[in-house]
Amino acid sequence: MKNLVVYNHGKDSIPWGEKALALAEVAKGRGFAFVSPDYQASNDPDWRVEQLLALDLRGYERIMLAGSSMGAYVATVAAETIKPQGLFLIAPAFYLPGYARDRFAPGTENIEVFHGWQDDVVPPENAWRFCREHRARLHMLDADHRLLSILSQMAAAFDRLLRDLTR
């Protein structure tokens, strides 16, 4: 396959949780290969960025980086080097203590962000700040940090984003 989605799981999550499985099904339907690296060996976001950058991504025509929470941070920092065609970010862990970066240069203008109004891990205003700075599409919905209650809405938006990338 010439198209690839790399999904980056969150700090206390697993590579093939509910969000990864839902997005993988959408990606497959759009002709994208889908990988979800296992970052469980370390909760250091910058170590995770190094692991993502170490993947062999040569040979792909289109790359979409996706991630949830810490994984969204990892995808966004790595995007500066990878230059993907798009970013799909779920409750991104931006502007938090313990994260080395608070300034981003995502490497793409095609960015879609989902965040929950009830998120008690990453304040909703952090997503708004990032989206304002990078003119990203922001979906603020009545959900908590995991956003599982709106998984079908996220999957539909992901499908539209992949469709638009392949036009």
What are the pLDDT digits (tens) for 96-131? 998 999 999 998 999 999 999 999 999 999 999 999
Is there a contact between 95 and 76 (Cβ–Cβ < 8 Å)?
no
- pLDDT of res. 1: 63
Distance between CA atoms of 73 and 121, rounded to whole angstroms? 14
- Which CATH number does the domain housing residue 44 bear? 3.40.50.1820
Distance (Å, rounded) from C-alpha 166 to C-alpha 41?
34
Below-50 pLDDT ranges, the chain? none
Q: Domain of 29?
A: 3-165
Long-range contacts of 101-107, Cβ-Cβ distance < 8 Å, separation of 24 or more: 101/73, 101/77, 104/76, 104/77, 104/80, 104/130, 104/133, 104/134, 105/80, 106/76, 106/79, 106/80, 106/134, 107/79, 107/80, 107/81, 107/82, 107/83
pLDDT of residue 68: 98
The average confidence (pLDDT) of the chain is 97
Please tell me the distance from the alpha carbon of residue 166 to that of residue 161, in angstroms, as a whole number: 9
- Confidence (pLDDT) at 161: 97
Helices 151-165/18-29 angle, 10° precision: 30
C-alpha atoms less than 13 angstroms from C-alpha of 99 in its C-beta half-sphere: 23
pTM of the model: 0.97
Instruction: State how many domains the chain has.
Output: 1
Torsion of CA 39, 27, 78, 48, to 10 degrees: 0
Place of tokens 């990892």: 74
